[in-house]
């Protein structure tokens, strides 16, 4: 078996169909639809639970007498845990199935989110956020592998883009939860809402099948997946390139979007723009709209023009827009620039799921995807801490220059990867 899937190889016969823009929804099978719904809802609710922390960060800083460095460190800790969870659940998904691993990851992050409500010290809060990160990393790994192996190659980019776009919906839901719950019940009640995603597991258990590709591999497998293949030949070389690129992109993303709510709401003396809760929520919802369109649009662009060109373009434009956004003080300009920053500064995420699913062999696909994506996310955990530390001296906005540099580096690295559009998974 070749080290890297090739466009001319197949794991199973894939029905062909028109790739015209308005024809593809009618070609979706029941298994494809259910896999997208399960992965998308899981990712959406994952985003909600993760974003609740950022949206109540101003109140947590006050409650626990934290400085911005400590607040950033707690979010970094969650990202480190996500790297561990991504690899762990990747191995689990390769062995017990994508659907089962998805269910377990959802239970982990939802229960951990609710547990944050009972924190009475920074240490307790850090512990619960670490456990949440394990489930957070596992959800992306299991969901992306589930969708990639269920959908046909001509529509895979769109499906993964739509899954990724659900993250923006989850962030918008988090903003609405905070807007409705925080003024009336406080920040602890906000975290209690985070337990609701656990209910999704019951539907996944009863309705979502394992991908045929995974099931067929189990019939012929005589031993456990050879994880040492991650360190051999083309798999290692291309995996290192993809992971480095992903690390830079995620460094830019997490450092920027972890701090945007605080950047908008903190007073100017603390490096923010001093917007009210209502304005901060409104601005953030506009950002989420930009994210959603950016995620979804990338999937269509990736299926039409390939994975690499849109990925490069998104990141390059983000590198230009982020410094402008960070130096803007007028609320009107922040509102207008926000959706464009979100469109390009997050939309590239949709591309990585497609790229990663198409460059790794099937027998170690979930483990490799989980390792590559979440090692990048783990290293990028430095970003929220770095921005928080720089903000003490320079303010949050100027600290975003660091994120612009990371986006630019990721754009350059994307040019080193092969084009994988049209690959039929091995």
Handedness of CA 285, 161, 151, 426 (dihedral sign): negative
- What 8-state DSSP symbol labels residue 424? P
DSSP strand E in 19-77: where? none
Q: Nearest 5°: phi and psi at 17?
A: -170, 170
Provide the whole-model pTM. Answer: 0.71
- With tokens 């308005």, the residue in question is 22
Confidence class for position 412, pLDDT limits 50, 70, 90: very high
Which two structure tokens, joined as six digits, stand for 111? 């229960």
Task: Check whether 274 has a pLDDT greater than 50.
Answer: yes
Torsion, CA 153, CA 39, CA 83, CA 410, rounded to 10: 50
- With tokens 């969708």, the residue in question is 147
Confidence class for position 407, pLDDT limits 50, 70, 90: very high
Confidence class for position 65, pLDDT limits 50, 70, 90: confident
Which two structure tokens, joined as six digits, stand for 145? 């592998």
Q: Give 200's contacts (C-beta < 8 A, 6+ positions apart).
A: 38, 41, 42, 45, 106
Q: Exposed, middle or buried, 155 (CB in 10 Å: 0-12/13-18/19+)?
A: buried
CB 258 within 8 A of CB 77: no
Which two structure tokens, joined as six digits, stand for 311? 């990925």
List, for residues 181-208, the tens digit of each pLDDT value.
988 898 899 999 888 888 888 888 778 8
Q: What is the C-alpha to C-alpha distance for residues 388 and 275, in angstroms, rounded to an integer?
A: 19
List, for residues 242-259, the tens digit of each pLDDT value.
889 989 998 999 888 888
The verdict on domain 29-204+228-414 having CATH code 1.20.1250.20 is yes
Confidence class for position 10, pLDDT limits 50, 70, 90: very low
Nearest alpha carbon to residue 366 among 211, 240, 247, 166: 211
Average per-residue pLDDT in the chain? 80
H or E segment and range at residue 86: helix 68-96
What pLDDT, on a 0 to 100 scale, did the predictor assign at position 235?
67
List, for residues 166-181, the tens digit of each pLDDT value.
888 888 888 888 888 9
Domain ranges for the chain, please list them.
29-204+228-414
Task: Check whether 217 has a pLDDT greater than 80.
Answer: no
Task: Check whether 105 has a pLDDT greater than 80.
Answer: yes
Between 101 and 6, the more confident residue is 101
Confidence class for position 425, pLDDT limits 50, 70, 90: low
- What 8-state DSSP symbol labels residue 199? G
């Amino acid at each position: 078996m070749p080290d890297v899937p090739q466009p001319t190889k197949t794991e199973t016969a894939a029905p062909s169909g028109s790739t015209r823009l308005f024809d593809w929804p009618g070609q979706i099978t029941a298994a494809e639809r259910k896999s997208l719904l399960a992965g998308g809802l899981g990712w959406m609710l994952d985003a909600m639970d993760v974003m609740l922390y950022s949206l109540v960060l101003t109140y947590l800083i006050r409650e626990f007498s934290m400085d911005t460095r400590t607040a950033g460190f707690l979010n970094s800790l969650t990202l480190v845990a996500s790297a561990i969870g991504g690899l762990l659940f990747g191995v689990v998904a390769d062995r017990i199935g994508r659907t089962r691993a998805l269910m377990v990851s959802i239970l982990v992050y939802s229960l951990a989110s609710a547990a944050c409500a009972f924190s009475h010290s920074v240490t307790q809060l850090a512990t619960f956020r670490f456990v949440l990160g394990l489930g957070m990393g596992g959800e992306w790994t299991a969901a992306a592998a589930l969708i990639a192996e269920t959908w046909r190659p001509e529509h895979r980019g769109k499906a993964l883009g739509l899954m990724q776009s659900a993250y923006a919906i989850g962030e918008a839901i988090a903003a609405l939860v905070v807007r409705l719950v925080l003024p009336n019940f406080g920040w602890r009640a906000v975290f209690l809402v985070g337990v609701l995603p656990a209910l999704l597991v019951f539907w996944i258990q009863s309705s979502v099948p394992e991908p045929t590709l995974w099931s067929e591999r189990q019939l012929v497998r005589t031993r456990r997946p050879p994880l040492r293949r991650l360190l051999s030949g083309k798999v290692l070389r291309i995996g290192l390139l993809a992971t480095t690129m992903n690390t830079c992109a995620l460094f830019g993303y997490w450092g920027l979007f972890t701090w945007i709510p605080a950047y908008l709401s903190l007073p100017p003396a603390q490096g923010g723009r001093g917007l009210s809760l209502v304005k901060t929520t409104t601005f953030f919802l506009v950002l989420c709209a930009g994210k959603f369109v950016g995620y979804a649009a990338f999937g269509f662009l990736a299926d039409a023009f390939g994975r690499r060109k849109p990925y490069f373009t998104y990141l390059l434009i983000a590198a230009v827009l982020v410094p402008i956004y960070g130096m803007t003080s007028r609320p009107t300009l922040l509102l207008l620039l926000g959706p464009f920053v979100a469109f390009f500064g997050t939309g590239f995420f949709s591309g990585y799921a497609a790229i990663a699913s198409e460059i790794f062999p099937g027998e170690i696909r979930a483990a490799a995807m989980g390792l590559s994506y979440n090692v990048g996310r783990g290293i990028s955990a430095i970003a929220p801490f770095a921005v928080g530390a720089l903000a003490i001296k320079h303010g949050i906005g100027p600290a975003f220059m660091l994120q612009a540099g990371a986006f630019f580096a990721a754009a350059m690295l994307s040019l080193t990867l092969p084009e994988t559009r049209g690959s039929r998974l091995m």
